[in-house]
A and B are shown apart, each in its own frame.
Chain A
Amino acid sequence: MRLKNKLIGGSIITASALSVVLILAIIVIILVVTIIGGKDTLSWKFLTSFPTDGMMKGGIFPAIYGTALLVIVMSLAAVPFGAITAIYLTEYAHEKSWIAQTIRFAVRTLATVPSIIFGLFGLGFFIKYVGGGMDHLFMGGQLKWAQPNLLWGSLTMALLTLPVVIVSVEEAIRTVPRELREASLALGATKWQTIKKVVIPGSISGIMTGTILAVSRGAGEVAPILFTGAAYYLATLPTSVSDQFMNLGYHIYVLSTQSSNVDQTLPIQFATTLVLLMLTFTLNLTAVLIRSRLRRRIK
Chain B
Amino acid sequence: MNSDYKKTAYTFTAESLRKKFRFSEYFAEKLITSVAFLSIAIIILIFFFVFRESLPAFKSVSKTKAQTTEAAVNKPESYGGNEAAAEQKPETYNGAEPSAAPQKPETYTGADSETTANKPESYGVVKDSALSEKEVNPDGNLVSSESSGGEGSLSSLFSNEWYPVSENPRYGLIPLFVGTLKVTLIAMLFAAPVAILAALFSSAFAPAWLREWIKPAIELLAGFPSVVIGFFALMVMATFLQNVFGYETRLNSFVGGIAMALAAIPVIFTITEDALTAVPATYSEASLALGATKWQTAVFVTLPAATPGIFAAVLLGVGRVFGETMIALMATGNAALSSLNPFESVRTLAATIGAEMAEVVFGDMHYGVLFLIGSILFIFNFTLNALAEFYVKVRLVRKIQGRGA
Contacts and interface: CB of A to CB of B under 8 A. Distances in A.
B113 A233 contact: yes
Contact of B116 (A27, A223, A234, A256): A234
A124 B353 CA distance: 13
A27 B221 contact: yes
Interface stretch (A40-48, A85-93, A179-187, A201-209): A85-93
Contacts of B96: 257
A226 B357 CA distance: 9
Given A16-B200, A192-B28, A121 B217 contact: no
B92 interface: yes
Contacts of B33: 88, 92
Interface in A221-241: 221-223, 226-227, 231-235
B385 interface: yes
B127 A231 contact: no
Interface string B113-152: 1111001100110110011000000000000000000000
Interface in B206-263: 206, 214, 216-218, 220-221, 223-232, 234-236, 262
B66 interface: no
A9 interface: yes
A125 B36 CA distance: 20
A148 interface: yes
B385 A19 contact: no
A5 B323 CA distance: 42
Contacts, number: 317
A107 B374 CA distance: 19
B198 interface: yes
A16 B198 contact: yes
B378 interface: yes
Nearest to A91: B32
Contacts of B319: 112, 114
B325 interface: yes
Interface stretch (B44-52, B68-76, B158-166): B44-52
Nearest to B38: A81
A114 to B, nearest CB: 2
A257 B93 CA distance: 6
Contacts of A269: 231, 235
Contact of A280 (B39, B105, B225, B382): B225
A60 interface: no
Interface in B23-50: 24-25, 28-29, 31-33, 35-40, 42-43, 45-46, 49-50
A174 interface: no
B322 interface: yes
Nearest to B384: A112
A146 B123 contact: yes
B295 interface: yes
B364 to A, nearest CB: 14
Contacts of B6: none
A31 B195 CA distance: 20
Which of B24, B39, B116, B324 has its CB near the most chain A CB atoms (within 10 A)? B39
A55 interface: yes
Given A16-B205, A284-B223, A112 B330 contact: no
A259 B101 contact: yes
Given A117-B50, A128-B130, A192-B29, A110 B104 contact: no
A257 B94 contact: yes
A143 B120 contact: yes
B53 A103 contact: no
Contact of B322 (A87, A114, A162): A114
Contact of B35 (A81, A114, A143, A281): A81
Q: Chain B binding site: helix, strand, loop or mixed by DSSP? A: helix
Contact of B324 (A16, A114, A256): A114
Contacts of A227: 357-358
A147 interface: yes
Contact of A103 (B40, B204, B230, B323): B40
B227 A220 contact: yes
A106 B43 contact: yes
A222 B231 contact: no
Which of A120, A148, A281 has its CB near the most chain B CB atoms (within 10 A)? A120
Interface in B326-365: 326, 329-330, 350, 353-354, 357-358, 362
Contacts of B32: 84, 87-88, 92
A76 interface: no
A119 B346 CA distance: 22
A12 to B, nearest CB: 5
B262 A159 contact: no
A9 to B, nearest CB: 4
Contacts of A136: 131
B329 A253 contact: yes
Contact of A114 (B231, B323, B329, B370): B323
B83 to A, nearest CB: 14
Interface string A9-25: 10011011111101110
27 contacts: A12-B298, A20-B197, A23-B194, A23-B221, A30-B229, A33-B236, A85-B36, A106-B42, A108-B389, A112-B320, A112-B385, A121-B50, A124-B52, A128-B130, A128-B362, A147-B119, A190-B25, A192-B24, A219-B225, A249-B228, A253-B329, A257-B329, A260-B101, A273-B232, A277-B228, A280-B224, A280-B225
Question: What 6 pairs across the A-B complex have the smallest Cβ distances?
Answer: A114-B323, A220-B225, A88-B36, A16-B201, A257-B94, A54-B108
Given A162-B42, A253-B231, 17 more contacts: A16-B197, A16-B201, A17-B205, A19-B201, A23-B198, A24-B214, A33-B236, A92-B33, A109-B43, A113-B46, A116-B353, A117-B377, A120-B371, A123-B357, A136-B131, A147-B120, A226-B354
Interface of A: 5, 8-9, 12-13, 15-20, 22-24, 26-27, 29-30, 33-34, 37, 54-55, 81, 84-85, 87-89, 92-93, 102-103, 105-110, 112-121, 123-125, 127-129, 132, 135-136, 141, 143, 146-148, 159, 162, 166, 190-192, 195, 216, 219-223, 226-227, 231-235, 244, 249-250, 252-253, 256-260, 262, 266, 269-270, 273, 276-277, 280-281, 284, 288
